[in-house]
Amino acid sequence: MKIAAIVSKPAKPELAVIVPEVLRWFAAHGYRVYIDEQTAAYTTHEFVVHREDIAQHKPQFVLVLGGDGTLLSAARAIGAAEIPLLAVNLGSLGFLTEVHLDDLYPALAATIEGQCPSESRTVLECHLIRNGHEVAHYNALNDAVIKSTVARLIGFELCINNELVVEYQADGVIVATPTGSTAYSLAAGGPVLIPCVEAILLTPICPHSLTHRPLVVGDDAHISVRLESGTDGVLSVDGQVGTPVIQGDRIECRKADYRVKLLRIRQPFFDVLRSRLKWGLR
């Protein structure tokens, strides 16, 4: 049996119309469809599962209805199974969810016919170490951010491959994938990386010295950020999940041993940049 799944953004009223129509389309094409609990709020359906359990049912692909945040959540829940994600933009900016609602059904048709190409995106694996013990573990498609929770500086020690890089004071540090280079890191003054670049990006947030600039390293690097002084803070992953961090904590980041697969329409990356960032407009 052909199997697909749907993940949706909560509290999106238009999905009350979209979801039933999509389910009818899948049924007409011979698919059994599993939906997460957020999608179940918009329809009655017999195959409702937790988002984290979708991969167990081995769908050929997952349709993500929402914005970039919904896709990031789906990637953390499902991405490790390397099941392709087809994201439809119901949000605002949409760097990742490039398929417009008007293109939903052509994109679905292209997907089931094997004509929708996929891209593999780097994922960060992040470990929070406290007193020599791991207390939290997260995976990030965009970024891991260590920052102050109040308007005070934190003293950081940054090491790469067990070598000291720098000790500096800043509001925080962003460790980003190429996919995440167009997110928080970009707003903090970091460069845009093409998604296929095999790199990890380190961007300080409001550093106390103007000489501390963003740094791009190979994606085989092992990165360690230690809180040395100042206030406590928070580790935030993809801007959605996280945990408090305290003085002496160490956050270790490296490339995960899997990649997230995104199904894409044939829109060149630089077209997306020009559209989303308004490049070239006068």
Q: Rounded to the nearest 5 degrees, what angle is found at the Cα of 267, between the Cα atoms of 203 and 15?
A: 90
Mean pLDDT of 264-281: 73
Nearest CA to 7 among 44, 43, 37, 28?
Answer: 37
Number of domains in the chain: 2
Confidence label for 1 from pLDDT (cuts 50, 70 and 90):
confident
CA distances from 234 to 88, 171, 178, 229, 239 (A): 31, 11, 22, 14, 11
- What tens digit of pLDDT does each residue of 12-54 get? 999 999 999 999 999 999 999 999 999 999 998 889 999 999 9
Over range 94-112, report the average pLDDT: 88
Write out the catalytic residue numbers.
68
pLDDT at residue 152 greater than cutoff 70: yes
73 domain-assigned: yes
Report the distance separating Cα 226 and Cα 251, nearest Å: 6
| Within a domain: 282 | no
Q: Which of 128-137, 215-224, 253-262, 271-280 has the lowest mean pLDDT?
A: 271-280
214 band by pLDDT with thresholds 50, 70 and 90: very high
Give the long-range contacts of residues 106-111, CB within 8 A, separation 24 or more: 107/263, 107/265, 108/22, 108/25, 108/63, 110/265, 111/61, 111/84, 111/86, 111/263
Using DSSP's 3-state secondary structure scheme, residue 132 falls into coil
pLDDT band of 273, cuts 50, 70, 90: confident
Residues 109 and 128 in one domain: no
High-pLDDT (> 90) share of the chain, %: 76
On whether the CB atoms of residues 71 and 96 are closer than 8 A, the answer is: yes
Q: Are residues 129 and 251 in the same domain?
A: yes
Rounded to 10 deg, the angle between the 104-112 and 15-28 helix axes is 30
Q: Are residues 220 and 146 in the same domain?
A: yes
Question: Containing domain of residue 184, as a range?
Answer: 123-256
Considering the domain architecture, whether residues 109 and 167 belong to the same structural domain is answered as: no
- Cα 31 to chain centroid distance, Å, stands at 27
Q: C-alpha angle with apex 113: 275 to 59, nearest 5 degrees?
A: 90
Q: Would the pTM count as exceeding 0.75?
A: yes
